[in-house]
Each structure stands twice: as C-alpha cells, then as structure tokens.
C-alpha cells in the first residue's frame, strides 16, 4: 500500500485564554512555558516528529510573540556564540522554522475553534491536514500525532484523538457516539468508528464518555461544513459540529492514543503538566522527588 502523507498542520492560537488571566492579558496562553519550553513549541515539535512540513498558525490580537518565537534572532545568536554558549544557541536554533514553510493568518475575532480552522482554508488547499491544539499537551513515548498518522495509513478519512473521561465531565468536551458495537468491543479497541459526535453534552444525555482532545487529521471537505458558519454550543462556531458532516460520507475514527494528556488551558492541568515534565527530566527529578513531599506536607525526606 502507498504511504499516505499529512504535510500541513494548523495550530489555532486565536483564543483569548481567559482562564489564565491576568497572565494572558498581554502574553499568548500558548507561550506559557512548561518547564522551559512554551506550549506551542511542544506542539510544533510533535508535528515535526510526525513528518509535518508546513506549519500554519491561526493567530489573533496580541499573539505576535508566537511569530517571534519561531523566527531567527541574530542579536541572541551573536551574543550566545560570542560567549561560547553553543549549547544554548543549539536550543534556540531548534526553534527556528524554515522560511517558506511557516504561515501566519489572523482570525479577526475569536468566534470559536471551527472558525479558526476555517480561517486557514486558503492555505490548506485540497489535501488532508492535521490540527493541533497546543493547550492539550501530551506526554508519550511516540508522539500522539505520529501514532495517529500511523493508524490513519489503514483507515484514511478523518481521525480524532480520544480519551475516556469521567462521565460527569462530558460537558467539557466534544463526545463521540461509537454506535452499535459488540459488547465490550469499544473498550478494547484503540480505533473506534465515529457514529455521532456532540459538543459538550450534559452527562445525562451524553452518548458515551469518550472525549475528543486536541489532535485531528482532517479531510478538506470539512471546509464546506465550516463555510456555513453555524453557531453551536456557547454561541461559538464549533469544529465538533463540522466534524459531524463526515459521518456516513468518509471513514471517521477516534483513536485512543498511548500517553498522558494534560489540559494546559486549565490552571491545575498546567501545574500537573509542569510537574510531570519536570519529573521526566533527569537533572530536575532527584531534587523534585526530595522537595515535593515537603511541599505536600507529607513525610519529610531524609
Ligand atoms: P479554548 O476553548 O481553550 O479557549 O480553545 P481559549 O479562548 O483559548 O481559552 P479560555 O477558555 O478563554 O481560557 C482551545 C484552542 O482553540 C483555540 C485556542 O487558542 C486554543 O488553542 N481557539 C479557540 C482559537 O484559535 N480561536 C477561537 O476562537 C477559539
């Protein structure tokens, strides 16, 4: 079978990030650092690892720091090289995206995630593409998007990353309906065919507790649905509602990925991510393992 490629990824970064005010008054939420890298850099690194070649950012007011972050910085370069700090320059150099392979387009108003994706339509053309939400940070041995692209080789069509959430939290996510499957089947399989999808349903009416999180492989036919600019939950133009148009037309799967997802748009999720990523760093782990029990008021380490 011929390998299928996903070459382009959209990074919607046009949201207001109100849950992080006042930090996000003048700074984009996506520039919040987890340990020493901004959230958006983790997202771009995940995309690169999955073979993405073109990076499309849908930005908004006050988001220019993101553009600067992925640009070259000759002042810093000469300062670091002049001081012999080659290792630090290496870290900075890794952030620079190749000229011609990165595009920034503005979402004039934060009208919702679906609208942000629609804003990138002219830059996508007629090919499958990925969408990555930087505030869903995923710690995984194999990057989540890479896992999805591997699975998508067999399925084609559209695919969303999914995870089981507590039933009382369905009203925070897009939730998929996996329809009629043999008993227990949906619990076992990494790939789940999507028979329905609904944004933020009440727990009482939710079709399942399988939630969509911020990784998507999309077919460009989604733009026809987004073009209608229908308002959904919360008065926003929802990506979830447009995804529903795939059902019955092209293969559409949810993929339970291997890894741990942190909701870094939320303060507690962000703190958990910071701890998890710091504990995975050998130069910090020992110190943290020593100091965390003290902070938690538990047994004092000797
Ligand atoms: P969120 O639902 O977290 O919204 O968006 P938000 O505005 O960023 O944050 P809060 O809820 O006010 O704290 C999920 C993702 O979709 C992008 C955001 O930038 C984030 O990556 N987004 C959301 C847009 O690009 N445009 C929008 O209109 C809405």
| 210-221 tens-digit pLDDT | 999 999 999 999
Contact 59, 93 (CB under 8 A): no
Q: Per residue in 141-171, is it b (16+ CB within 10 Å) or e — as a string?
A: eebbbbbbbebbeebebbbbbbbebeeeebe
Please, how many CA atoms are within 13 Å of residue 25, restricted to the half-sphere of its CB?
3
Which pLDDT score, from 0 to 100, does residue 297 have?
84
Taking residues 81-91, report their average pLDDT.
94
Residue 37 predicted with pLDDT over 70: yes
Q: Return the ligand 1 atom nearest residue 19 CA.
A: 13
Q: Is 136 in the pocket of ligand 1 (CB under 6 A)?
A: no
Least-confidence region, from 106-110, 182-186, 220-224: 182-186
* Residue nearest ligand 1's atom 23 by CA: 15
Q: CB of 199 closer than 6 A to ligand 1?
A: no
Q: Residue 169 has what pLDDT?
A: 96
* pLDDT at res. 146: 97
Residue 243 scores a pLDDT above 70: yes
Q: How confident is the model at residue 2 (pLDDT cuts 50, 70, 90)?
A: confident
Per-residue pLDDT at 80: 94
Residue 229 binned pLDDT confidence (cut-offs 50, 70, 90) = confident
CATH 3.40.1110.10 applies to domain 8-263: no
Taking the centre of ligand 1 as the mean of its atom positions, its distance from the CA of residue 15, in whole angstroms, is 4
Q: What's the average model confidence in pLDDT over 212-233?
A: 93
DSSP annotation string for 178-230 = --S--TTHHHH-SEEE-SEEEES--TTT-S-SEEEEEEEEE-TTHHHHHHT--
pLDDT at position 249 is: 95
Ligand 1 centroid–CA 257 distance in Å is 22
The reported pLDDT for the residue numbered 232 is: 86
113 lines ligand 1 (CB under 6 A): yes
Closest by CA to 55, choosing from 99, 89, 91, is: 99
Instruction: Find the mean pLDDT for residues 5-26.
Output: 95
In short, whether 17's Cβ falls inside 6 Å of ligand 1 is yes
Q: How far is the CA of 189 from the centre of ligand 1 (A)?
A: 30
Tokens read off for 168: 């009382």
How many Å lie between the centroid of ligand 1 and the Cα of residue 30? 10
Q: What is the mean predicted confidence (pLDDT) over 91-95?
A: 94
Structure confidence at residue 298 (pLDDT): 66
Residue percentage of the chain with pLDDT more than 90: 86
pLDDT tens digits along 147-199? 999 999 999 999 999 999 999 999 999 999 987 766 666 666 799 999 999 99
Average pLDDT of span 261-270:
97
In short, whether 179's Cβ falls inside 6 Å of ligand 1 is no
In this structure, of 70-74, 165-169, 297-301, the range with the lowest mean pLDDT score is: 297-301
* Ligand 1, pocket-test mutation among 38, 131, 265, 267, most atoms within 8 A of CB: 265
Q: What is the mean pLDDT of residues 197-213?
A: 95
What pLDDT score does 300 carry? 59
Annotated domain spans of the chain: 8-263, 266-302
In this predicted structure, the answer to whether residue 237 has a pLDDT above a threshold of 60 is: yes
302: pLDDT strictly greater than 80: no
| Predicted local distance difference test score (pLDDT) of residue 218 | 98
Average pLDDT, rounded, for the chain: 93
State whether the beta carbon of 222 lies less than 6 angstroms from ligand 1: no
Return the percentage of the chain with pLDDT > 70, whole number.
95
Structural tokens at position 244: 């529903």
Nearest by Cα to 239 from 180, 197, 296: 197
């Amino acid at each position: 079978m011929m390998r299928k490629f996903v070459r382009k990824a959209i990074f919607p970064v046009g949201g207001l990030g109100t849950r992080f005010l006042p930090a996000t008054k003048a700074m984009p939420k996506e520039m919040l650092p987890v340990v020493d890298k901004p959230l958006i850099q983790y997202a771009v690194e995940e995309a690169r690892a999955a073979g993405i070649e073109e990076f499309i950012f849908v930005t908004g007011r006050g988001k220019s720091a993101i553009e600067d972050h992925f640009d070259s910085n000759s002042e810093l370069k000469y300062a670091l090289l002049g001081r012999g700090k080659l290792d630090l320059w290496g870290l900075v150099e890794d952030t620079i995206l190749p000229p011609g392979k990165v595009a920034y387009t503005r979402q004039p108003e934060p009208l919702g995630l679906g609208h942000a994706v629609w804003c990138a339509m002219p830059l996508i053309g007629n090919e499958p593409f990925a969408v990555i939400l930087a505030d869903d940070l995923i710690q995984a041995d194999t990057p989540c998007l890479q896992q999805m692209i591997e699975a998508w080789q067999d399925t084609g069509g559209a695919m969303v990353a999914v995870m089981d959430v507590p039933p009382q939290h369905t009203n925070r996510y897009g939730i998929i309906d996996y329809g009629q499957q043999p008993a227990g089947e949906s619990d076992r399989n990494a790939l789940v065919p999507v028979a329905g999808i609904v944004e933020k349903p009440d727990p009482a009416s939710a079709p399942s507790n399988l939630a969509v999180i911020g990784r998507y492989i999309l077919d460009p036919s989604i733009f026809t649905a987004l073009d209608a600019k229908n308002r959904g939950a919360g008065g926003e133009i929802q990506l979830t509602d447009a995804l529903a148009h795939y059902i019955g037309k092209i293969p559409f799967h949810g993929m339970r990925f291997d890894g741990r997802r942190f909701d870094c748009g939320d303060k507690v999720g962000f703190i958990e991510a910071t701890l998890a990523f710091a504990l995975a760093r050998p130069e910090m782990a020992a110190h943290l393992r020593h100091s965390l029990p003290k902070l938690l008021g538990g047994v004092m380490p000797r």
